[in-house]
Amino acid sequence: MARSPSTGLLSSGALLFATLSIFACSDAGLDDEGSGGAAGVGGDQTGAGGASGGAVGSGGTSAGGSSSGGASAGGSSSGGESSGGAQSSGGSSSGGDDGSGGDDGSGGDEASGGDGSGGDDGSGGSEGGGFVPSTGAARTMGYVGCSMSVNVAEGYEALGAERLWPPIAAYNGKVVQNWANNGDGVWGAFENAASQYGTPEDVWVMLCIFDNAVTVEEATQIVANVRSRAPDANIYITGQPVYDDPNSCFLAGNGGPDKTDRIAKETAEDASLNLVYPGALGPLASSESSDGCHTNQQGSLKLGEQFIEWFGE
């Protein structure tokens, strides 16, 4: 069957139209790839991460995805935990508990204060008035008193101690009023002992009384009389021994021994006198006294031991 000329022309025109359409489509595709592909414009040259704009080449993952604003540019590497995170600046390394001023590092409880500076045991003596037991060479401690002071010296010597002067019989019966009188003959006995053993470095004053007769003024005068004979001596002052029964010593009067202890303490409280009150002697039980006042051997040894605790041997 023969083909019509018009049909052939139409077929040729259709073929030409199809060819032009294909050419146009190909040209448009080239424009897309050359001008606007995100990968070509925003690849490595704009700070993106990947090869040159990503795998596809047209926007997509490469232009704004992981490569340019993701983990590589603003993630862990530049602003993440490594460069500004908790551990690097402000974490445990700088300013943490242990690094600067932590509990253990600066001024902990044990570092300042505490038991090392000024503890209860470190300051002050154990007896009344802050008395600290003292020591000295043989026969460097003199004394004034009465028969009761002689009882102390007897017990002290019986225990083998030698710092205190030995018993002085001339002191028997001598009380506060005798010692407060700077011209009384009893001072001759004191001076004789000082000549024999040397001017004492320490002097013990016992306040002895008859019938409750003692005042602070009399005790103060005795101290002045001692200083006139031993100006550089340390002076210790006590009352008579006290007793379990405060009225047992009939010579001193009811409550007399306790009164002497109280006056001794009160006198020592005058700082201008520079005295030491070491404490009360005794107390003595009735079994430690021969007549309610003076000691028996047991009582003398008890007072001698107490004296050793105060002043050594």
Q: Is there a domain that residue 262 lies in?
A: yes
Q: Is there a domain that residue 305 lies in?
A: yes
pLDDT digits (tens, 9 = 90+) for 272-295: 999 999 999 999 999 999 999 999
Q: Is there a domain that residue 176 lies in?
A: yes
Tell which residue, 206, 214, 217, 124, has the closest CA to residue 168.
206
Q: Is there a domain that residue 240 lies in?
A: yes
**pLDDT over threshold 70, residue 207:** yes
Mean pLDDT (the chain) is 72
How many domains does the chain fold into?
Answer: 1
Residue 150's domain comprises: 137-311
CB 163 within 8 A of CB 138: yes
Q: What is the pLDDT of residue 132?
A: 83
Q: What is the pLDDT of residue 130?
A: 60
**pLDDT over threshold 70, residue 120:** no
Q: Which of 5-9, 94-98, 234-238 has the highest mean pLDDT?
A: 234-238
**pLDDT over threshold 90, residue 96:** no
Q: Is there a domain that residue 106 lies in?
A: no
**pLDDT over threshold 70, residue 10:** no
Domain CATH for 267: 3.40.50.1110
Question: In which band, very low, low, confident or very high, does the pLDDT at 131 lie, cut at 50, 70 and 90?
Answer: confident
Q: Is there a domain that residue 145 lies in?
A: yes
**pLDDT over threshold 70, residue 305:** yes
Q: What is the pLDDT of residue 12?
A: 39
> What are the angstrom distances between the C-alpha of 195 and each of 12, 88, 131, 140, 188?
162, 86, 29, 12, 10
Biggest distance spanned by C-alpha atoms of the chain: 184
Please give the Cα distance from 141 to 304 (Å, whole number).
14
pTM: 0.60
Q: Which two tokens stand for residue 299?
A: 């009582």
pLDDT digits (tens, 9 = 90+) for 78-95: 333 333 333 333 333 333
Q: Is there a domain that residue 116 lies in?
A: no
